C-alpha cells in the first residue's frame, strides 16, 4: 500500500477594519472664525468619505498619518457636525458627528467716567473709557467728543477740551 489521500483547506485573512480618528480644534469658537479638522485612519483603508458640515464633503485621503483641513470661515451660530467613514476589505470604521460649537460673542461691556465730575467754566475734564469682549467698533457721542474711539482692550483716556458753557455735559460711548 502506497495508497494516500490529500486534502486542503483555504482561509482568507481579512485586515481589521480601519480605525478612524477625527478631531476639531478648537471645539468651540465665535462666529467669523475657522477651525482645523485633523483626521487619520489605520489599517490601509481603500476609501474614506466625509459627511456633515465639512467645507468639502466626499472623498478624503486614505494615506497613513494625520491630514488637516480647514472648516472655512463659519458665520452662523450653531453646532456643526463632522463625520468620516473609512473602508477596507475588513469592514468600515467611522467617527460620526464630532461637534464644533459656534456662538455669537458676548456684547461689549462699556465703562466711561470723567474726572473731575465738577469743574468751572473754561476747564477741561479727563474722560476714561474701556470696553470688554473685543468690540469691532466704538463711537463716542455727546457734548465735546464724538466719532470713532479705540476698540483695543484696557482703559483709554482723552481730554475733553475747554468746557466754555456753564451746563451739564454728557459723554457717551457705544460699542
Burial of 100-135, coded b for 16+ CB within 10 Å and e otherwise, reads: bebeeeeebebebebeeeeeeeeeebebebbbeeeb
pLDDT for the residue numbered 25 = 98
pLDDT of 143 higher than 80: no
Express each pLDDT in 13-68 by its tens digit.
889 999 999 999 999 999 999 999 999 999 999 999 999 999 999 999 999 999 99
The half-sphere exposure of 115 on its side-chain side, counting CA atoms within 13 A, is 7
- For residue 144, what pLDDT band results from cuts at 50, 70 and 90? low
CA distance 140 to 143: 10
Express each pLDDT in 75-114 by its tens digit.
999 999 999 999 999 999 999 999 999 999 899 999 999 9
pLDDT for the residue numbered 161 = 83
- For residue 162, what pLDDT band results from cuts at 50, 70 and 90? confident
pLDDT for the residue numbered 49 = 97
CA distance 13 to 111: 70
Asked whether 86 and 115 are in contact (CB, 8 A), the reply is no
Amino acid at each position: 500500500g502506497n495508497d494516500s489521500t490529500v486534502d486542503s483547506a483555504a482561509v482568507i485573512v481579512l485586515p481589521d477594519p480601519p480605525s478612524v480618528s477625527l478631531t476639531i480644534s478648537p471645539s468651540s469658537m465665535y462666529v467669523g472664525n475657522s477651525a482645523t479638522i485633523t483626521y487619520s485612519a489605520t489599517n490601509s483603508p481603500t476609501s474614506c468619505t466625509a459627511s456633515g458640515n465639512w467645507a468639502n464633503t466626499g472623498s478624503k485621503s486614505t494615506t497613513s498619518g494625520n491630514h488637516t483641513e480647514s472648516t472655512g470661515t463659519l458665520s452662523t451660530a450653531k453646532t456643526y457636525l463632522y463625520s468620516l467613514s473609512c473602508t477596507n476589505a475588513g469592514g468600515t470604521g467611522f467617527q460620526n458627528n464630532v461637534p464644533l460649537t459656534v456662538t455669537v460673542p458676548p456684547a461689549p461691556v462699556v465703562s466711561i467716567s470723567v474726572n473731575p465730575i465738577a469743574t468751572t467754566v473754561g476747564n477741561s475734564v479727563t474722560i476714561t473709557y474701556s470696553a470688554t469682549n473685543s468690540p469691532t467698533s466704538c463711537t463716542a457721542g455727546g457734548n465735546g467728543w464724538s466719532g470713532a474711539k479705540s476698540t483695543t482692550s484696557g482703559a483709554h483716556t482723552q481730554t475733553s477740551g475747554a468746557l466754555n458753557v456753564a451746563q451739564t455735559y454728557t459723554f457717551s460711548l457705544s460699542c
